[in-house]
Amino acid sequence: MSVHASAVIAAGAVVPESCTVGPYCTIGPEVVLGEACVLVSHVVLEGRTRIGSGNTFYPFSSIGVAPQDLKYKGEPTETEIGDNNTIRECVTISRGTAGGGGLTRLGSNNLLMTQVHIGHDSHVGNHCILANAATLAGHVTIEDFATVGAFCPVHQHCTVGQYAFIGGGTIVTQDVLPFSLTSARRENKAFGINKVGLTRRGFSPERLASLQKAFRWLLTAKMNTSQALEKIKAMEGEDAIILAAFLERSQRGVIK
């Protein structure tokens, strides 16, 4: 194990020999690290925190810290992180609260850029990108392959659908449609499908055309959401099923 002399590892912490712990890092007694994790320097890991393998934590990131919630009174809640995440400088991830399920979760293969905040009881999927200073309030869900742009605050209990792309500076107060390109160029709107991102992820021209048809019904046709939903439910293909299910379970309404 490579541990700098200035690092502090509490008794009880699990740190495999394949890990690297840089200068001035602090690891609490209930932290469990997976194989081949790298703590560059000045990293704080605390609370009941379980971390998978191959994660890299850059300076001044704080993981598993107490939630920014006045109702929190020290309950034994948790933080869970998957594998192969890149967590850049000054990222903060708060552990869960008793009232919100008790767990904050980050999946695998994500990039969290500088100053990202993941609030208590939030759940981030796999292969997501959260750009600089993206801020998730408590109880936020980010589904797989989503991108949240720089300086985007996401309101409590909002869901960002899979493969969605949110432009920088967008204030998110409702759910973001899966597959969508959503931005605040003038006001918060969905501008259609995330065509560039979906193409990069291997979506065929046929899948893109089907999604474009569904989004025309949702965004530009002279029909309400319920009418558009009925048309989408009649379509074939997994993407239509995902989109329809997202619309049906949305509690805060969706950005259109």
Provide the annotated active-site residues: 120-121, 138
Residues in the chain, how many? 256
The residues that bridge with 49 in the sheet, in sequence order, are 31, 79
Reported as half-sphere exposure (CB side, CA atoms, 13 A), residue 251 has a value of 8
Q: Which two tokens stand for residue 118?
A: 């993941």
Reported as half-sphere exposure (CB side, CA atoms, 13 A), residue 214 has a value of 27
Residues 6+ apart with CB under 8 A from 48: 30, 64, 76, 77, 78, 79, 95
Of the candidates 134, 54, 32, which has an alpha carbon nearest to the alpha carbon of residue 93? 134
Alpha-carbon distance of 110 to 217, in angstroms, equals 32
